[in-house]
Amino acid sequence: MHKDIATPKRTKEILEKYGFSFKKSLGQNFLIDPNILNNIVKAADLTGESGVIEIGPGIGALTEQSAKTAERVLAFEIDQRLIPILKETLAPYPHVKIVNEDVLKADLHKEIGQFFSKGQDVAVVANLPYYVTTPILMKLLEEKLPVRVIVVMLQKEVAERIAAEPGSKSYGSLSIAAQYYAEAETVFTVPKTVFVPQPNVDSAILRLTRRTKPPVDVSDETFFFKLVQAAFVQRRKTLLNNLSKFFKDELDKHTVQSALESLDIDPKRRAESLSIKEFASLANHFNERLNTHN
């Protein structure tokens, strides 16, 4: 049996053999704790029939753990220098395909359609590069990919923001955007000591379970997300102030105020106190109002 990639010793050997140096710009931090990797994979509930999408495999530590369970693994690695390393470290796993591409530019529907069988159970299991965590997650959610669950390691603070409940400091437009598409929960936190090089922040494992349909009905998704963002533009300001500014060309402050009151939402509340349901009724109300006026 070959040794796990993720041990500190084996990681060091691989990096030295290839003279690999970490690129700060790519947010490269490699995990050197096989137990944590196993727990990440466990959180995705994979079976022998599952397919896995990975983003930023590094030298293949997490890829290897997914490959031990899953039927096939598709990994996107942006750093050309890692491709020969991955070819070697993942040689025992012929069912792993490495694509040297920026996942943000990839046509994921096409890649999934070509690599996995139709209707296959697909999970995203990845240790995301910190500097592009949010854009990657939003792409995975917004493109409505045939993915059952997304289990990712990311900055603890970002994980908390995504899984936050109304009324908490972390709750914001990102929480609402993610929770519109998926149920979010932080599975466990990860100390910075299990990485090479050590990042400056602690990490967490976030599990996003895809919803079959959104928790609220909105008449216009784009407008809904815009309104949510506008409501949080200045967190300390009231809903009335933020929304009046957002609608300044179409509606006066008095109209915005009476609209809020008609929906039983106190204009003096702050955005962080509103549930996704309240935001949906706000968006639907204003959307209808603007469309009847135009």
* Cα 8 from Cα 293, distance rounded (Å): 64
Does the annotation list 243 as a binding residue?
no
By the 10 Å C-beta count (0-12 exposed, 13-18 middle, 19+ buried), 39 is classed as middle
Does the annotation list 31 as a binding residue?
yes
* Cis amide bond preceding 197, omega within 30: yes
Q: Give φ, ψ of 248 to 5 degrees.
A: -50, -30
Does the annotation list 240 as a binding residue?
no
Q: Where is 223: in which H helix or E strand?
A: helix 221-231
* Cα 179 from Cα 192, distance rounded (Å): 27
Tell me how crowded residue 117 is: count the other CB atoms within 10 A of its CB. 12
Does the annotation list 127 as a binding residue?
yes
Q: Where is 226: in which H helix or E strand?
A: helix 221-231
* Cα 34 from Cα 8, distance rounded (Å): 10
Does the annotation list 77 as a binding residue?
yes
- Answer for the pair 279, 243: CB distance below 8 angstroms, yes or no: no
Amino acid identity at 20: F
Does the annotation list 56 as a binding residue?
yes
What is the strand order of the sheet 203-210 is part of?
96-99, 72-76, 51-55, 122-127, 149-155, 203-210, 182-190
Indicate the annotated binding residues. 29, 31, 56, 77, 102, 127
Indicate the annotated binding residues for S-adenosyl-L-methionine. 29, 31, 56, 77, 102, 127
